Structure 1
Amino acid sequence: MRFGLFNLMNQHGLEQREVFEGTIECARLADALGFDIAWFAEHHFSNYSLCPSPLMMAAAVARETRRIRLGPAVIVAPLYNPIRVAEEVALLDQLSRGRAVLGIGSGYQRFEFDAFGADLAERQERMLEIWQIIDQAVHHNRFQHAGRMYQLPDVPQAIRLYHPRRLETFFVSWSAPTIHHAVATDAVPFCTVGWGDTAALTSLHDHVARQYAEAGYDLAGRRFAAQRYVFVSDDKAELMKVAEGIRYAGRCAGHMRVGAQVLDGHVIQDRPVAGEPTLEAILAGLPVGAPETVAERLVHEIRTIGITDLSCFMWPAGLGSRAVLRSMERFGAEVMPLVTKALAADTRQPADAVA
């Protein structure tokens, strides 16, 4: 099991300085705890996320860490010039001494696309071409592309990857052409359901599996990355604050998805969305709570859904960084060993049965 740390960098009742400095502290701790990847979100124009440039955040954290890999989750590809983003991905790999990973997506917030002058209807096609351009630039060190969206001359990409290898890539987009490219490059589907419970995540996994099947592939046996809220605490009052933070971020995302957010400056008003879960349902449906509860819920989802890469969303909106770091320390000391032990037992079981 590969553990990742997802950093949304939501500013809800916090000073911006705490968001930025706390994110770097969390990444340092994740590095020390043995997490595999630190991911950084990309969003614009609101307190939902103070990270408009995940590659810049990853480069900053590269100087503060030693082992953990770093990447965007995800680059909103249609908002980029393909040459610039390809060069910056390679630059991140050099600055991190070979620790860059790529997360790429097509985006979904009309609010952001309109401000950038981008066409939301073209997002899937643009994302795929940009992904193809990045692949060629970082693996063959050439820019040459003749697509419907982008035409690039045959010029060199000066910055090489730190180690010759295939850049590990995670993606969020389920069109058949995108899946074809993903299978050809061993890319990993990356899914999240926000405040959704196990049933919601299972449903999304099954949807992705159907998209793979329609494209002519079987998702079974392939890597599958899922993002889950994770928080470790025995304090009921603190857990209620966790649920409120998860609900706030979910409300923000729900409003922005349909362009219905109401802003006070850059702050999104905390307004309900249709069909949202109760705070009690959020606490019951996510891997949050005492260490044993968190481990049990994670192991169940890993086993039943086939998760190979777990991205842990560990900073609910509104909580201070000290509480988040305390939860992370408990996750590393108490939850990760339980999960690892349970999954190791699964792999030993066939051999034990034969014996």
Structure 2
Amino acid sequence: MLRFSNFLFPESRDPAQDSRVIDESLAEARLCDALGVEVLWLAEHHFDGNCAYVDPVTFAAAVAASTTRIRVGFAVAQVSLHHPVRLAEQMALLDNIAHGRLIVGLGRGTAYNVYEYQGYGIAWQEAQARYEEAEQVMLRAWTSPEGFEHRGRFWTLKVPRLRPTPYTRPHPYVLRAASSEEGAIALGRRGLPFMMNVQSLEVTRRRMALYRAAMREAGHDEAHIARCVAESWVWRNVVVAETDAEAARIGIPAFEAMQEHRRRMRETVEAEQGIVMRREAAPPARVQVEHALIHGSPDTVAERMAELDAIGVGGVICSFRLGPMPAEVAAESIRLFMTRVAPRFRSRRAPPAAAAE
């Protein structure tokens, strides 16, 4: 049955409000821990206020230290912006602080905000290649008790044994993001679970089918396929209220304000820099209410979740606090979800699928 998590992705448009939003975000993490949310996912975005805590590695340490049950995941760490040995070291420390509750979600980095690359002195065109090389270095750092040497395109390294050693053996649990159909198929061939960004129900159904088919064609057995599917997650924005009308009144304006704010910021950056990192011919699913926002009474939201459950996804990454939504409104939505929606789906925790080849 379906599993549920919270994507803690708080917006802060005013720098003077950053501290308040960060405090509210920690309170939301503690609430999710108390209510039995399985995973708290953290984002990484710099310089634009889209994510108030900015650095998920530092913030994850605070979350891990102030919670006891909830798993702490990255959706995702922008690997191309980090030195891989430093990031491997930080993740090993977090894995110890969280006593194995860590999910190291890895991705290449933003495809929209060139400021994030410019601010770190990295060419945005190198993001994918940096990510691929960095992942290899991180896995070797975690699993090489005698140390290792690496000679690649971006890093030439002579690395002693990493300390602290990871709490989880052979290394912290790793999960990759796949923002395209090709990416999902590639991870399926490797027999690895994945995170899917916001898509329509139809696209979600098709990608999961292609993902399963890729695993079968690559020779993975049905037990391994089931484990990978159980550890794969899809993202939706979620607002729960007592009635459908109240959820629409609260959720739709907050969702639309969030998307409009992000659109304006993107256009401003593109105009200032003369750089368009990605062009989209039509509005993507992530900005469309009918695809990206599940809202309604507990009964209505449960029906929408059942549609995802029928596809066979492992879990849903729910974003509850949307754009300018007040913290207390998001908190009530989370309470309603966890007390009146989630109990309708029998919880399960499948054993982690293979985290790396």
Q: Which residue of 2 aligns with 1:266?
A: none
Residues in 1 aligned to 2:252 and 2:81: alpha-carbon distance in whole angstroms:
32
Q: Which residue of 1 aligns with 2:66?
A: 64
Q: Which residue of 2 aligns with 1:231?
A: 239
Kept in 1, the 8 Å contact 2:239–2:333? The answer is yes
Once the two structures are superposed, what CA deviation does each residue of 1:25-81 show, in whole Å capped at 9, x if it has no partner? 211121122222111100011121123211111100111100111122111111111
1:116 aligns with 2:120: yes
Q: Structure 1 pair 77/237, CA: closer, same or farther in 2 (3 Å)?
A: same
Kept in 2, the 8 Å contact 1:55–1:71? The answer is no
Kept in 1, the 8 Å contact 2:46–2:116? The answer is yes
Provide the secondary structure at the position in 2 that maps to 1:145.
Answer: strand
Amino acid paired to 1:315: R
Kept in 2, the 8 Å contact 1:133–1:143? The answer is no
1:322 aligns with 2:321: no
Pick aligned residue for 2:134 from 130, 143, 167: 130
1:232, CA displacement in angstroms?
0.7
Q: Which residue of 1 aligns with 2:301?
A: 294
Kept in 2, the 8 Å contact 1:128–1:178? The answer is no
Gapped runs of 5+ residues in structure 2?
271-279, 349-357
Higher mean alpha-carbon deviation, 12-21 vs 240-249, is at: 12-21
The RMSD of aligned alpha carbons is: 3.5
1:168 aligns with 2:177: no
Once the two structures are superposed, what CA deviation does each residue of 1:303-328 show, in whole Å capped at 9, x if it has no partner? 12x21022111111111111111111
1:145 aligns with 2:175: no
Q: Which residue of 2 aligns with 1:190?
A: 195
Q: Structure 1 pair 284/81, CA: closer, same or farther in 2 (3 Å)?
A: closer
1:286, CA displacement in angstroms?
3.1
Q: Structure 1 pair 24/300, CA: closer, same or farther in 2 (3 Å)?
A: same
Kept in 1, the 8 Å contact 2:237–2:292? The answer is no
1:255, CA displacement in angstroms?
5.7
Q: Structure 1 pair 276/245, CA: closer, same or farther in 2 (3 Å)?
A: farther
Residues in 2 aligned to 1:178 and 1:156: alpha-carbon distance in whole angstroms:
33
Residues in 2 aligned to 1:302 and 1:252: alpha-carbon distance in whole angstroms:
32
Kept in 2, the 8 Å contact 1:41–1:72? The answer is yes
Mapping for residues 73-88 of structure 1, pairs under 5 Å: 73-88=75-90
Q: Structure 1 pair 44/90, CA: closer, same or farther in 2 (3 Å)?
A: same
Q: Structure 1 pair 203/12, CA: closer, same or farther in 2 (3 Å)?
A: farther
Aligned length: 325
Amino acid paired to 1:249: M
Residues in 2 aligned to 1:277 and 1:35: alpha-carbon distance in whole angstroms:
28
Residues in 1 aligned to 2:158 and 2:340: alpha-carbon distance in whole angstroms:
53
Kept in 2, the 8 Å contact 1:286–1:297? The answer is no
Kept in 1, the 8 Å contact 2:236–2:294? The answer is yes
Identity %: 25
Mapping for residues 1-355 of structure 1, pairs under 5 Å: 1-12=2-13, 15-107=17-109, 108-109=111-112, 110-141=114-145, 142-173=147-178, 187-193=192-198, 196-202=199-205, 205=208, 212=214, 216=218, 221=226, 222-223=228-229, 224-234=232-242, 236-237=245-246, 239-254=248-263, 259-261=266-268, 276=283, 282=289, 286-304=293-311, 306-340=312-346
Provide the secondary structure at the position in 2 that maps to 1:160.
Answer: coil
Q: Which residue of 2 aligns with 1:351?
A: none
Residues in 1 aligned to 2:291 and 2:64: alpha-carbon distance in whole angstroms:
36
Amino acid paired to 1:247: E
Q: Structure 1 pair 207/49, CA: closer, same or farther in 2 (3 Å)?
A: farther
Residues in 1 aligned to 2:67 and 2:163: alpha-carbon distance in whole angstroms:
26
Amino acid paired to 1:134: M
Once the two structures are superposed, what CA deviation does each residue of 1:107-157 show, in whole Å capped at 9, x if it has no partner? 123231123221222211211111111112223343532222322114221
Provide the secondary structure at the position in 2 that maps to 1:340.
Answer: coil
Amino acid paired to 1:77: V
Give the TM-score normalised by the residue count of structure 1.
0.79
Q: Which residue of 1 aligns with 2:354?
A: none
Kept in 1, the 8 Å contact 2:40–2:73? The answer is yes
Amino acid paired to 2:201: T
Q: Structure 1 pair 252/285, CA: closer, same or farther in 2 (3 Å)?
A: closer
Gapped runs of 5+ residues in structure 1?
264-272, 344-355
Provide the secondary structure at the position in 1 that maps to 2:66.
Answer: coil
Provide the secondary structure at the position in 1 that maps to 2:52.
Answer: coil
Residues in 1 aligned to 2:329 and 2:72: alpha-carbon distance in whole angstroms:
23
Q: Structure 1 pair 63/88, CA: closer, same or farther in 2 (3 Å)?
A: same
